[in-house]
Amino acid sequence: MGKTLFDKVWDKHVVRSIKDGPDVLFIDRHMVHEVTSPVAFRGLENRNLKVLFPKKTFATADHNTPTLNQHLPVKDPLSSKQLLALEENAKKHNISYWGLGHKKNGIVHVIGPEYGITLPGTTIVCGDSHTSTHGAFGAIAFGIGTSEVEMVLSSQCIMQQKPKRMRISINGKLQKGVTPKDVALFIISKLSASGATGFFVEYAGKVFEDMSMEGRMTVCNLSIEMGARGGMIAPDEKTIEYIKDREFTPKGNTWKNALKYWNSLHSDMDANFDKDISFDGSQIDPMITFGTNPGMGISILNKIPNYTDQSDNEKSYKRSLNYMNFQEGENMIGKKIDYVFLGSCTNGRIEDFRAFSNIVKGKKKADDVIAWLVPGSHKVRNSIKEEGILEILNDAGFELREPGCSACLAMNDDKIPAGKYVISTSNRNFEGRQGPGSRTLLASPIAVAAAAITGKITDPRKYL
């Protein structure tokens, strides 16, 4: 029996297996941020433990950072204290720290790939559920809790039961105007917000082969939104081309040996999946969500379905529509929006800004729309400037902020006010996710751009 891509990487990292219990899994890369780490560092001190492999640990500040005036001291005393705690912990334990204002600073899942920290065939964890992003490179990457952060800091291992394997194959050709975000929202709408819980997903087929690395990151990023621990895509020439010569990518002989390993990273023909699902890529439309979990997504052209069509129970479904102040049977097209948010670890990369700017070029932002455009990292921000995108954005009435997680989780000041509608490229439309009482519609960067200029939900294909 052949092995799946997931099995090949997992099995290589098992230090020991406990009977009727978890595996002890070795972790190659540990990304750390300010919010889920302070209690873990405190735990180490209480137990008198050290960080076992500081060189495999990378710290950055992103969740709780301002996106305006980053050169000034952080105003909120709690946020400031949390940032300082990470800086001190990193220093004390000899961990690299790309804090606020550092030229390599950015969202943890954006900077990992940018600097070659993310590599095929590795195991990557972070105290953040969207760690699944790194699976785009053929890595096993997933989010962990703070106790597990403490485990990885102290032992470079965590204890996990091996998940089941699911393959999602999409073949066919995507229609023009259908982006990786739409593909992911489509899959989640089919499987529901819990449909992949207990599984690790491999995305396969022509649609993913054709996708850019950044597109693959968007898809893998959203794996958690259907409950999967992570998602991964077999590395190919595009992957190797992307990682080549980045700062932390292996060089010389290590690179040559790594290539041999990476070439073996694909599911064998006779590999067995616990669940094998396929879709036709040509049937996917631009997507939008209408409810309060990412499984509540539909084609942007469709009407809001009746609850009987859904997997959630009636009470929860109606509660969700009630929160959004939407009715069953309403059109999504034409609904007024108040805010737009372009950014996050899902869609805060340079290709997302290129796509957004292509739509708004030569047009004007709708007057009554407030737009927050937040790059995923300084590197992305610099590219936006160097490629002339900033000028296009400014001419169309948009401003660019400084990098961070921002309104995706609204931990900093970037909060959407209660009752307001935001069309967002981020990953979660939960109640209050983008600010207490805020109402989120998840969509692709181009759908967000189209809404930004019209002030309402608009089929982005009109502007292509």
- The interface with another protein within residues 172-191 (CB under 8 A) comprises none
Instruction: Sketch the per residue contact string, 416 through 445, with another protein: x for CB under 8 A, - otherwise.
Output: --x---------x-xxxx--xx--------
φ and ψ at 372, to 5 degrees?
-115, 115
Instruction: Sketch the per residue contact string, 111 through 150, with another protein: x for CB under 8 A, - otherwise.
Output: --------x--x----xxx-x----------xxxxxxx-x
Q: How far is the CB of 344 from another protein (least distance, A)?
A: 13
Question: Coil, strand, or helix at residue 193?
Answer: coil
Under 8 Å CB-to-CB from 168, ≥6 apart: which residues? Answer: 187, 201, 202, 203, 204, 277, 278, 279
Q: How far is the CB of 282 from another protein (least distance, A)?
A: 30
Judged by CB under 8 A, the residue of 13, 164, 456, 461 near another protein is 13
Q: How far is the CB of 437 from another protein (least distance, A)?
A: 6
Residue 169 bridge partners (DSSP): 204, 278
- CA atoms within 13 Å, Cβ hemisphere of 95: 29
Taking contact as CB under 8 A, which single stretch among the options 17-25, 338-346, 348-356, 393-401 is the one that binds another protein? 17-25
Judged by CB under 8 A, the residue of 70, 96, 155, 358 near another protein is 155
Under 8 Å CB-to-CB from 328, ≥6 apart: which residues? Answer: 304, 305, 306, 307, 321
* End-to-end Cα separation, the chain, in angstroms: 47
Q: 21 vs 73, which CB is nearer to another protein? A: 21
Q: ∠227-230-234 over CA atoms, to 5°?
A: 140
- The interface with another protein within residues 310-329 (CB under 8 A) comprises 312-313, 315-316, 319
Which amino acid is located at 264 in the chain?
S
Q: How far is the CB of 113 from another protein (least distance, A)?
A: 15
- The interface with another protein within residues 293-312 (CB under 8 A) comprises 293, 295, 312
Tell me the C-alpha distance between 334 and 346, whole Å: 25
Q: How far is the CB of 18 from another protein (least distance, A)?
A: 5
Four-CA torsion 198, 144, 36, 426, nearest 10 degrees: -50
- The interface with another protein within residues 371-410 (CB under 8 A) comprises 409-410
Other CB atoms within 10 A of residue 432 CB: 16
Q: 189 vs 458, which CB is nearer to another protein? A: 189
Instruction: State how far the alpha carbon of 255 is from the alpha carbons of 113, 240, 243, 246, 464, in Å.
Output: 16, 10, 11, 12, 41
Q: How far is the CB of 32 from another protein (least distance, A)?
A: 13
Judged by CB under 8 A, the residue of 140, 217, 271, 411 near another protein is 411
- The interface with another protein within residues 51-80 (CB under 8 A) comprises 52-53, 63-64, 76, 78-79
Tokens of 93: 């334990």
Under 8 Å CB-to-CB from 77, ≥6 apart: which residues? Answer: none
Judged by CB under 8 A, the residue of 74, 140, 141, 158 near another protein is 158
Tell me the C-alpha distance between 132 and 149, whole Å: 16
How many residues belong to the site for another protein (CB under 8 A)? 86
Q: How far is the CB of 177 from another protein (least distance, A)?
A: 29
Q: 251 vs 385, which CB is nearer to another protein? A: 251
By the rule CB under 8 A, 256 interacts with another protein: no
Q: 70 vs 146, which CB is nearer to another protein? A: 146
Taking contact as CB under 8 A, which single stretch among the options 292-300, 330-338, 342-350, 381-389 is the one that binds another protein? 292-300
- The interface with another protein within residues 344-373 (CB under 8 A) comprises none
Tell me the C-alpha distance between 149 and 154, whole Å: 9
Taking contact as CB under 8 A, which single stretch among the options 7-15, 100-108, 348-356, 455-463 is the one that binds another protein? 7-15
Tell me the C-alpha distance between 346 and 125, whole Å: 17
- CA atoms within 13 Å, Cβ hemisphere of 399: 7
Q: How far is the CB of 246 from another protein (least distance, A)?
A: 13
- The interface with another protein within residues 193-252 (CB under 8 A) comprises 193-194, 197-198, 224, 227, 229, 250
Instruction: State how far the alpha carbon of 69 is from the alpha carbons of 60, 66, 101, 282, 336, in Å.
Output: 18, 7, 10, 44, 31
Q: How far is the CB of 190 from another protein (least distance, A)?
A: 16
Under 8 Å CB-to-CB from 281, ≥6 apart: which residues? Answer: 170, 171, 172, 173, 174, 183, 205, 206, 207
